[in-house]
Amino acid sequence: MERPLRPRLPHVLLQSPDQQVQLALEPNEPEPRDSWWRITSPGRHDRRWQASFGANTPVEFVGAFTDNLTGPAVQRSGRT
């Protein structure tokens, strides 16, 4: 019996121009709750961090997250 063809899933690795942030898209089948999107900062050991998002995370949310990382710094006032 022949196996049905499955669509190929993308695997993407992007890096910011300053090489401070990396975004990896590595979807897994069949478990959509696994991390599909990984965003990391490969900086010094004491400053490394990672954020992960699953298949059900809206791509607009992932985009807003990365835009805030790479966009200009926002100055906040001390007022409440």
Q: What is the pTM of this model?
A: 0.66
Coil, strand or helix at 43: coil
Q: Is the pLDDT of residue 69 over 90?
A: no
What is the overall mean pLDDT for the chain? Answer: 78
Using alpha carbons, list the distances in angstroms from residue 5 to 2, 8, 18, 29: 9, 9, 40, 14
Mean pLDDT of 27-42: 78
Is pLDDT at 64 greater than 70 in this prediction?
Answer: yes
Q: Which helix (H) or strand (E) holds 22?
A: strand 22-25
**pLDDT given at position 77:** 58
Count of CB atoms situated within 10 Å of the CB of 54: 14
Cis peptide before 4 (omega within 30 of 0): no
Could you tell me the residue ranges of all domains in the chain? Answer: 12-67
Q: 51 falls in which pLDDT band (50, 70, 90)?
A: very high
